[in-house]
């Protein structure tokens, strides 16, 4: 991110802009445009906005009001999952044009929140393993299997790219103030 560029603000659902951008289906990024300055700055902005949140696991472009199929994952997520991931799992943090190519039949109801739907939390049933195919920030295609929190994050962020919010799927929604 350029020094003059400020950290993008995370859009909140309960605003006119949030309602519009978070409900739209995001557009794919042409592979030959991944390395252009606009998309590289978008990646930097997403990483900076996520790093600015103490409790963020992932962040999608619609959450900073950009309707493109890209999300980032907090690298700290991998540290907490080292024992559960397949050996030699790469630490990928940028997912461009991601698609879920496999999910486990095993599902678990998990606590979930969202940086764009603060301060709401609820229980969402998600696959415990999810394999994603995507491009990284260098335009290289990869496949990655996530388990546990990483699998949950893949599903949550790809939902964002399809205009779906966790509150659309959640049970037992509760407002929890003061967690940030």
Q: Mind telling me the catalytic residues?
A: 157
Nearest by Cα to 11 from 23, 28, 1, 2 = 23
Q: Alpha-carbon distance 136 to 116, whole Å?
A: 24
**In 74-157, where do the E strands start and end?**
94-103, 107-113, 120-127, 129-135, 141-147
Q: With contact defined as beta carbons under 8 Å apart, do 167 and 102 qualify?
A: no
85-123 burial, b for 16+ CB within 10 Å, e for fewer? beeebeebbbbbbbebeebeeeeeebebbbbbbbebbbb
């Amino acid at each position: 991110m350029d020094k003059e560029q400020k950290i993008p603000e995370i859009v909140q659902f309960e605003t006119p802009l949030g309602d519009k951008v978070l409900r739209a289906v995001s557009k794919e990024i042409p592979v030959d445009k991944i390395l252009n300055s606009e998309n590289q700055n978008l990646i930097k902005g997403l990483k900076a906005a996520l790093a600015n949140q103490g409790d963020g696991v992932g962040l999608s472009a619609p959450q900073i009001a950009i309707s493109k199929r890209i999300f980032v994952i907090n690298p700290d997520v991998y540290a907490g999952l080292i024992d559960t991931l397949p050996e030699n799992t790469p630490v990928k943090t940028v997912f461009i044009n991601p698609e879920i190519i496999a999910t486990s039949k095993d599902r678990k109801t998990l606590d979930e929140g969202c940086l764009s739907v603060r301060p709401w939390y609820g229980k969402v049933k998600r696959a415990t393993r999810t394999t994603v195919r995507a491009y990284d920030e260098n335009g290289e295609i990869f496949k990655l299997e996530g388990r546990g929190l990483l699998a949950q994050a893949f599903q949550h962020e790809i939902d964002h790219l399809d205009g779906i919010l966790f509150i659309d799927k959640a049970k037992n929604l509760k407002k929890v103030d003061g967690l940030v």
